[in-house]
Each structure stands twice: as structure tokens, then as C-alpha cells.
Chain A
Amino acid sequence: METIIKTDNIKKSYKMGKTQLEVLRGVDLSIKKGEFVAVVGASGSGKSTLLHILGALDTPDSGSVHYQDQRLDRLRWGKLNHFRNKTVGFVFQFYHLLDELTVLENAMAPAMASVGTVGWPSLKPKIQERAYGLLERFGLKDRIKHKPYELSGGERQRVAIARALMNAPPLLLADEPTGNLDSQTGHGILEAFKELNAEGQTIVMVTHDERIADQASRTIQLLDGKVKS
């Protein structure tokens, strides 16, 4: 299997007041296409930071991140945005839906972000169709006109997944996607992930729960900012 994303000795530290906090101390990992990887570790072990770096939301202090042949940490602004928009899809613990937009609009947002006002009418049917399809798949068909705050936690997370998949990104990144849900709803979300993975979707998921991590095809454990082998 070909490697989709690969990190090489990445380090990252934050300033907390006067002390320097080293979060990642040289992480090497590679993820292959079609894998469902769970990153586990205690809180503060740098899981989320790693995920942010993988999704180009953050840059490492040193080391390199390769997406296929591209070096992510060297990308220019414009390319970076393009990468975030087209290559990765994010699912967050707290869903992070936009309250002003409806479910349908939230799902369409990534597609809309790259379309001009004049081009919109011609592209709208296609984009809308895809969003409908995704929402229908996650059982949200009769919720599309609702606002996020009218939904339950599980429904919100499914909207977030639909949004993440909108631009059909090769890489789906999830940060504690079940962390805020009861176990039954969380299970439903995991099932959805597994289903997606079966269709060939590469998924990297961060969690602190070993049982959830067991559902993934591979588990990477982070300890003190390093991958525990």
C-alpha cells in the first residue's frame, strides 16, 4: 500500500508563560492509504497537536510532514488553504458547526468556500446533490433545514462528518469524535467510520479511550511526545 502521509522527527513546543512546554519530541509515523489509524495517549501527550499538524492547521518547529510528494510544512499560504480545503476533512470533539447556517449549508460549506458568487448557480445543483447524498447516508435527510442547535449531539457530529467528507478528501482527521457523546451514540459514529474505511477512506482518529481505539485497524500510542512502539 502506498503511504499517504508521513512525518519525520517532528517536534513542537508551546510557550506556557515562561516555561517551554515540549509537546512533540520527534514523532515519526507513516499512514498508508486506506488505513484506519487510532492515535491514543493520555491527555497532554500531544495527540491533538499531532492531528493539527497532519491537517496543516499547525506547523511543526522542526522535522517534516509529507503528504504524498508535498512537504506540508513548507507550503505557501494559498496552497495550504487549498490543501485544507481539498485534501483533509476534520471532525472535532465539539462538532464546531456554524450556528448561522442550516444543516445542509453546513455540509456544503467546504465546497462553497471555493466558489465565486457568479459561478455558484451553475455549480449549486452538483454540490447540493452531494450534500444531500451524504446527509441521507448519515440519516439526516429530514433535518437538512434545521439549525445545528436544534439537533442532538450525535446528529451534530454526523453533520460534521458529512461536512468533512464534502470535498471527498483523501484523508479524514477526527479529534475525539466520540468524546462528547454517550457510548451508544459514540458507537454509531464509530460504525460510520468503519463503514467509510471499508469503502477505502483513510482515517486518522485521536482518542484517549483504548476501547474505541480497538475498533481501528491500527493503533499508535503517544507517550511523552513520542510514538511508543
Chain B
Amino acid sequence: MVIAIILGVCFGIVAHKAERSGVIWAFLTFLIYIATGILFYFVSNFLPSSISIDNVIVVAVIEVFIRVALSIFIAAGFLRGYFITILEALLCFRYLQHRRIVLLSMAAVALSCALLIATDSLFTGFINAVESSVSRHLGDIILEAPSGRTLTEYDTFIDSLCQTDTVKSATAVLSSQGLLLSAPGKVKTARIWGIELPRRLAVTPLHEALLFQKDKPAEQVGFAISDSPDAIGGIVGIGVLAQPDEITDAYDMDAVKGMLGQRMALTTGSMVQDRTNTDGSQPQFSRKVIKFNLADVAKTGVYEFDQSFVMLPIAELSKTLYPDKEPAANLIHIRLTAGADEEKAMAVVRGVWRSFAEDRFDWYGFVSITSAKQLNAQLIAEYRKQMTVLLFIFGLVSVGIILLVFCIFYLIVMTRRKDIGVLKSCGVSSGSVAGLFVLFGTVVGVVGAAAGVGLGWLIIDNINAIEQAIASVFGIKLWKASTYMFTQIPNTMHWGSVLWITAAGIIAAAVGSLIPAVAAARVKPVETLQYE
């Protein structure tokens, strides 16, 4: 700490001696600050093998010292007027007030910041939505039996899962591919799920996605058909029954509601499985047809799910597919308790599965236990990359904007040469003059970036309304669930990126004002004061 103070004082003395005060000093200080940060980052991240732990600590200590010293210097500098004199502050403020072109440069900074923030937030929101939609609707951890195998007595397994600390709830699913004939001439391929109703509602937000039963208490939600109590009921994704409108991208709700109770036919295949036939031949494959009535319609907002799901009671599906077996499932969807560590939870699930399945199924080792995040990991990595590419392109756009700011500042300096001459004849140093313009640039950056954040936030917060307005005015639906997976545009602000974008905006504006500032500093008073 003592060293740091001494360093700070030394900086101060150097600054004082050089008398090249002004914002240049602040800027240099800032650069050293950033440079130490970057240096430290590189040292600690890219050279771990060649540097021993002790050296890393030494580097860290040095870094902290330099930073503390700089902080002291900055504090002292503001007190003593190294960075900015009252005249600079006043002139900077007045220039800002009186130049309409300043608004242009602020607008430019604001626009590029808003653009980057909106893009970043949109992408991050989208990626998060992709990541969370799977875990929301399928559970945090998914246990899947190898293809063609089913597990029975899943109740026992789920009970023992729920007894652990990490698992909040779990539910069994019997999944298979199928074809659905929902109305004359309307055939669609569908993913057929046998589900356990009360338990599923605890694991996923299916309850709120149901069109007809969403207001009922959870215990009463079921597959019951009001007119014919004996019939099998089924819940079908809204996209399976109807196609969204070409222009509005909305479903015809009345038509969908009119289908309630309608009889539908479903076909799916099954292997008479888990045993080889006595004569050693392959097990026989057969198609089964189930007829059911529409008990409810699910609208999750996730296009893929809405387009493909047909849910039946697991018992009924199991009975049809495997008539000689007790209820079977091939998927277990597991919801973890809030804040549970995923890695640990996976280990717990694996352990419970082992003790449950070891004696029951000879295939227990082939089961796949994955987290929802892993399921989409490759896709998400790809989206991230696209985001980077897009941000890079917009970064280039921002370079153009910096050029613009630079031009504007140059223009201002050029038209202010007389003022600069006057200031210099009054004894204002070149550094101070340069500092004036860098300060000016920084203020433009700060105001512009702040406006950009505001604008970006406005855009992101109202993006769905904006999109709807565009759709109603121009008749173009920009965001279609079929292309972008979700019915709603993600509208959460990604504040993490706001920080660096804002910082980049401010630094860019300050850097953009550097050359004009130097040009200003080099103005010779004698030349500019000859004439008015």
C-alpha cells in the first residue's frame, strides 16, 4: 500500500512537472489502467504452464499496486486540476450546447450502441430461450432408455428419485413416433407421448399451456371427455391441429376450440420386445391404431413442441403398444430443486438409476442420462457463433460511426481554430486544448452511449409490440414461429453486454476525438489570430 501511494505521488509529480496537463493525462492514466488489466488477463490466462503460481501472485500483486496508485493519482488529479481546468469544463459544456452537429455525433454513437445492444440482447434472449425451452418442457435432466426398450415399475424409480435432495419431481413418458389423422384428409406425423397427468404438471408448465383446462386446479386436469366418459382422451399440440395464418402467424382459435371432443385416429408402431422369439427369429414389428377424442389443446409457444405433440394417458398407450405388460415408459423427465448443481444431480440420478435398474433390466448400462442443456449444446454453440459474426459486422458499422464522429470533431476543431488561438494566447497549454476536445469527445460518448442504452432498452422491451405494428401496417410478419421457434420474440435485456458496449462506445468516441484533439493542440496562435 505504501508503495502504491508513493507510485501515485510519483505520477502526480511527473504530471505536475510536465505541465502537459489536461484530459490527455486522464486518458493516459486510463490507458495504463486498461493495459494493466489486459496484461494481467493475458498473463493469467494464456501463460499458465510457463508461469508458476508464485509468479502469477506476484503479477497480481503488482497489478493491484499499479491500479491503486493510479486511483490515488486520479483522485489527486481531480483535486489539483491536472486533468481538467474549469475553463475547459466550461468551454466543453458550451460547445456541447451550441453545436447542432454535436447532436449528430451523439445520435451516431447512440444508434450504434442501440444497434449492438439490441442485437446482442435479441440473440442472447433467443439462445436463452432455446436453452430454457427444453429444460422447461422436458425437465432439467432426461433419462432415456435405449431404443426399443422400456422400463416398467417406473413409479418405484420416481419415488426413490424424489427422495433425494436434488430432485424436485420426476415423471415418466412413453414416447414413440406416430401418424395422426385429426380430420378428414388431415394427416400429420406426430410425436406420441404417454404421460402421467398429475405428475407431469409438477415437472413442466403443461398446465398453463392447456387451452381449456388452464384455469382448473391442477388436481382436476385430466384426459376426461365430458360427453363420453369411457373414451380415451388426448391432448394435442395446437400446431398439429391447425396451421398458423400466413400473415398474422396466429392460430384460428375458434376453429381449434370447435375441434374439442372430436374423434381422431393415431397409428404408431411397436416391437414385441425385450425378448427374442423362441425360434430365434427377430421380434415381430406391428402397427397399432388408437382412436381417441380431443380432450385439450396445448399451446406452449415453442413451435417444435406445438407442431408435433400428441399426449395420451400413459396407461392407455402402454396397453395398446404392449398389451401383455404392465405400464411401461422409455423416458423419465426430471425436475431439479431450485439452485441444484447439475453435475451433482446427474451423479445422483445415475446412482439412483443403478440401484433401481441393476437387477431389473439387463440393458441398464445403456441408458442415456443427459441434461437439457447438453441436448442443444451444438445448436447453441452455432447460434453463439452467428451472434459473434453479426456483432462483428455491426462492430464494423460502428467503426464507420467512429469515422463519422472523427470527421465531425475534425470539423469542429477546424472551425474553432480562432478560439484555440485565443486560448493559447491566454496561456492555456496545448495539452489542455487537446484535453478540451478529448473531454468533449468523451462527453459525446457518454451521452450518446446512455441514449443508446435507453434506445436499445426501449426497442428490446417493446420488440413484440413493434413487430406487431410492422405486421399490421405493412402486412409483413417478421417473426414467424415456424422460422424462429417461438411465438414471442425474446425481450429480455442482456445487461451483461450493455456494460462492454457502453464502454466501447465511450472509448470509441474518445479515440475518435484524439486526432482532432492533436490537430487542435498543434494550432499556432500566431497564424489564427492575424485575421478574425
A residues apposed to B, CB below 8 Å: 48-49, 52, 55, 57-58, 77-79, 81-86, 90, 92-101, 105, 109-110, 112-120, 163, 175
Contact = CB atoms under 8 A, between A and B. Distances in A.
Interface in B328-385: none
A163 B422 CA distance: 11
Contacts, number: 117
Q: How large is the interface on B (under 10, 10 to 19, 20 to 34, 35 or more residues)?
A: 35 or more
5 cross-chain pairs, A with B, having the tightest CB-CB distances, nearest first: A116-B81, A85-B427, A78-B19, A94-B532, A84-B427
A96 B29 CA distance: 34
Contact of B427 (A96, A110, A118): A110
Most chain A CB within 10 A, of B78, B80, B85, B98, is at B85
18 contacts: A57-B424, A57-B525, A58-B524, A78-B17, A81-B427, A85-B426, A94-B532, A99-B98, A99-B419, A100-B91, A105-B90, A109-B87, A113-B85, A113-B423, A113-B428, A115-B87, A116-B81, A117-B89
Contacts of A113: 85, 87, 423, 426-428, 432
B196 to A, nearest CB: 70
**Could you say which of A77, A110, A117 has the most chain B C-beta atoms within 10 Å of its C-beta?**
A117
A118 B78 CA distance: 6
Interface of B: 17-20, 78-87, 89-91, 94-95, 97-98, 418-419, 421-430, 432, 524-526, 529-532
A77 B430 contact: yes
A99 B94 CA distance: 10
Contacts of B430: 77
Contacts of B97: 100
A86 B427 CA distance: 8
Given A114-B427, A116-B78, 17 more contacts: A55-B425, A77-B19, A78-B17, A81-B428, A96-B425, A100-B97, A109-B426, A112-B86, A113-B428, A114-B81, A115-B81, A116-B83, A116-B85, A116-B86, A117-B84, A117-B86, A117-B89
B419 A98 contact: yes
B19 A81 contact: yes
A90 B426 CA distance: 8
A81 B87 CA distance: 15
Nearest to A164: B426
Given A58-B526, A85-B428, A78 B20 contact: yes
B87 A78 contact: no
Nearest to B429: A81
Contacts of B86: 112, 115-117, 119-120
A159 to B, nearest CB: 12
B89 A163 contact: no
